[in-house]
Amino acid sequence: MAIRYYTVTWDQLHRDAKALAWRLVDKGPYAGMVAITRGGLIPCAIISRELECRLIETVSIVTYDEEKRGEPSVVKPPAAALESRGEGWLIIDDLVDTGTTAKVIRALLPKAHFATVYAKPAGKPQVDTFITEVSQDTWILFPWDTEPQFVAPIAKSHASSNGG
Ligand SMILES: O=P(O)(O)OC[C@H]1O[C@H](OP(=O)(O)OP(=O)(O)O)[C@H](O)[C@@H]1O
Ligand SMILES: O=c1[nH]c(=O)c2nc[nH]c2[nH]1
Ligand SMILES: [Mg+2]
């Protein structure tokens, strides 16, 4: 199956994270927020500003090596939220894909509210609130993983693909 790419710019990420904050504001107040590093850090910063929530904990789960999956391991647990099992806490990640990361965090913090900006169908059941769904065969390209580069004019690439 050919992979598609969905490019997210800084502006779009800011807009989508704010849209998520709008959905979350009435579900609070929150005891604090847990950002899933590293992808959840920037959406968490944007949402914490909107919700005026200044207590931020982090959790680090290592699952991916580039675009290949490995076994998930908790590199840094969300210490401040563990005792309450996440009650009143808001967990933020940039996206849910297979749901592997979300399942590990949910086991640690079963009472927390889990929110992501983007969601793919396989992981969607693990998430309480999200903004945009993309198909399972789509790879989301975040602004921190990409940079603008020169692209040849259409006429040039068209001519070379026609042997011109
Ligand atoms: O639903 P899943 O299949 O588990 O995939 C989703 C997770 O994968 C990405 O993180 P990654 O593990 O690549 O680490 P990073 O956030 O440090 O880039 C993304 O930020 C999510 O946390
Ligand atoms: O940058 C990313 N884009 C994705 O679509 C994805 N899925 C899992 N992990 C991911 N990281
Ligand atoms: Mg991540």
The CATH number for 114's domain is: 3.40.50.2020
* Domains of the chain: total: 1
**Token code pair at residue 7:** 């490019």
Residues 6+ apart with CB under 8 A from 95: 39, 116, 117, 118, 119, 120, 123, 140
Q: What does the pLDDT read at residue 69?
A: 65
CB of 114 closer than 6 angstroms to any ligand 2 atom: no
Find the ligand nearest to 101 CA: 1
For 75, the domain range is 4-161
Residue 63 Cα, ligand 2 centroid: separation in angstroms? 11
C-alpha 4: how far from chain center: 18
**Residue range 107-144, pLDDT digits in tens:** 999 999 999 999 999 999 999 999 999 999 999 999 99
Active-site positions? Answer: 93-94, 97
**Token code pair at residue 98:** 């297979």
**Residue range 57-110, pLDDT digits in tens:** 999 998 766 556 678 899 999 999 999 999 999 999 999 999 999 999 999 999
Rounded to whole angstroms, the Cα distance separating 93 from 130 reads: 10
The answer to whether ipTM exceeds 0.95 is yes
